[in-house]
Structures are given as C-alpha cells and as structure tokens.
Amino acid sequence: MILLAGVLLGTFAGSAFDVPAAQPQRKAADFSVRWQPTLPVNGSPVVFCVTSRVRLKSLSGKWLTHEVFFSSDSQGKVWYGIAGASLETRPGSYSLDLKAVAAANEELSLQKQIRVGKGKYHSIAASVPKQFTEPSTEQLREINQDKALKEHAFARVTSEREWADSFHPPVKAPISDVFGTSRIFNGRVQSVHQGLDYAVPEGTPVAALNSGVVLLAQPLFFEGNCVVLDHGQGLLTLYMHLSKIEVKEGDHITGGQKIGLSGGTGRATGPHLHVAVRWQGVYLNPATLLVLHLP
C-alpha cells in the first residue's frame, strides 16, 4: 500500500454541527459529523459518518454539487455515506448540506464545512503502440462505440449501499504507478492516470475490492478486458487489461471474490493490473479508499 505525498489519512475527525436558530416546525437536535481521511485533498474519496441522538427515518446530503447517499445502522442513529473530490477541485472549504427526517416526521437541515487540500502528483513519459495514439478510422469507430457503452453503464447511480466493511487490494503486489500521474504517450498525447497500476504477471488472480454488482464485463479498445463493479451509493470500481474475465454482467460479487486474471490487453505497455475508483463521474484515488476504516 502506498501513501501519496500530500494525502493525509487517519481516523474520522470533525465537530458537532451548528444548528440554526429555532425555526417553525423544526426541532434542534444534537448532530455530529466525522469523516475520513481527516484532511482530504483533490482526488480523494471521503467517507462521512453522521451521528444523531434521535432516530432518523432518512438522511440525504449534498457536497461539491453531488448527491451523497447515506445508509444507517439498525437504530437509525449512525449513518455512513461515500463521496469524493475530483482532481480539478480547488483547495478550500466546501459545505456538506444535510437534510434529515426524524422518526416523528420532524425535519432537520444541517451544514458542515469540509476543507479540501491540494494533493501532490507527478508526471512520466511512456511509449505505446501507434494505434493507441493515432487510431485508424475503423479503430475510431470502435472507440466511439466503447464510449457510448461506458457512458450508458456509468449513468447508473444507485442510492442503496452494496459495499460492506473496508475495501481491500485486488492483488498482493507492488504498485508500479500511482493515481494522478500526468502521462505523455509517445511524446504527443497527454492524459492523467486515473487509477493504480499493480506490477503482476499475466494470469494473476484479481479479486473484487468489495461486494457489489457486475455492471460491465467485456473487452474495450483502451481498457482491454474490463470489469466494472457497482458498490452502490454512486461508487464503482474498474479492473482493466485482464487476460480473462470470470464474471458476467448482473452477477452479485462478494469482497475478495475472483473476477478475472491479470493481463496486458488494451492500451498497455505490458502485463499489469489497472484499478480505478469512480464516484458519480469523478475518478478518485484507490490508494486512499483502501486505507479507510469502514464499518
């Protein structure tokens, strides 16, 4: 496991919400909000924990213009939700806006400022076959078909929680490239690495980071043999360049279950595993997600 420079990880931190002055038909209640990592940066996933002294029937949130979906314990007093700050998020404080309905149908509206810092990322140069930087007309057609396929799959956002407990690495291997790296292919095409690369030989079993539903399982031009898992609450994990896919779309997967074998298919300089984390259209740092302590 790696810790990116500038990404500070730790236990939940935070303070009690300041509840606005009394309003008609609203009841003041003691709330607290905590989050991991303690100091999120651009590109970081964030897990919010909201605790209430009274039982809540529902809790919803909004942060960085995205909806945050929450699930609760059996008592309806502790709620967890996953969110994230994109690489493009500027350093600053951003309001987490929460709306709750208590057991007696009393409405509560609460806010908390969450500060986002600036992560430190670097750049590298790489060489790949010319077809991946200068595709032919036929290859462009395939790329556009893949784009439409991915857009359709990524449009799925479910509020229900599929993930259970903490997320775990897909393989036991060194990390060969980290999230957020700017990459220049063949001296011309620039992109940002939006996941983690694991240095594994072809044929290495690849495990699901957590429980979820198989959203996509097929070969794509750039990604090669690719599996996408939906963990609920808008969170997806992607596994690319596989030599073999061993699950099918619609399958329910448990954390640690084998979903395929590593390889070097698609735009790859050699055999390895690329894992990405996507939340509501935003790519996030898998390394951060993998060290969060979740219930």
Q: Of 70, 74, 237, which Cα lies nearest the Cα of 170?
A: 237
144-169: pLDDT as tens digits: 888 888 888 888 888 899 999 999 99
Q: Cβ(82)–Cβ(123) under 8 Å?
A: no
Q: pLDDT confidence of 28, banded at 50, 70, 90?
A: very low
Is 285 contained in some domain? yes
pLDDT computed for residue 75 by the predictor: 84
Q: Give the per-residue pLDDT at 156.
A: 82
Examine the domain organization and report whether 127 and 112 are in the same domain: no
User: Looking at the 3D structure of the chain, how many domains does it have?
Assistant: 2
Q: What CATH code is carried by the domain that includes residue 81? A: 2.60.40.1930
- Same domain for 136 and 255, yes or no, is yes
Contact indicator for 159, 69 with CB cutoff of 8 Å: yes
Give the per-residue pLDDT at 148: 86
Q: What is the reported pLDDT for 249?
A: 96
Among residues 69, 89, 116, the one where a domain terminates is: 116
Average pLDDT, stretch 185-203?
83
- As a whole number of angstroms, the distance between CA 266 and CA 269 comes to 9
Any domain includes 8: no
List, for residues 115-148, the tens digit of each pLDDT value: 999 998 887 666 666 666 667 888 888 888 888 8
Backbone angles phi, psi at 244, to 5 degrees: -150, 135
- Inside any domain, residue 173: yes
**What is the domain extent for residue 40?**
31-116
Look at residues 116, 137, 156 and tell me which one is the last residue of a structural domain.
116
Cβ(286)–Cβ(279) under 8 Å? no
With tokens 């407990």, the residue in question is 165
Backbone angles phi, psi at 11, to 5 degrees: -80, 170
Q: Which helix (H) or strand (E) holds 148?
A: helix 137-154
Cα angle 234, 89, 93 (rounded to 5 degrees) comes to 100
pTM of the model: 0.83
**Whether pLDDT at 185 is above 80:** no
Q: Indicate whether 147 and 193 sit together in one domain.
A: yes
The larger pLDDT score, comparing residue 182 to residue 95, is at 95
Domain boundary among 80, 99, 116: 116
Please indicate whether residue 26 or residue 276 has the higher confidence score (pLDDT): 276
Residue with tokens 């502790």, as numbered in its chain: 78
Query: pLDDT class for 190, splitting at 50, 70, 90?
Result: low
Tell me, yes or no, whether 86 lies in a domain: yes
Tell me if 13 is assigned to some domain.
no
What CATH number does residue 258 fall under?
A: 2.70.70.10
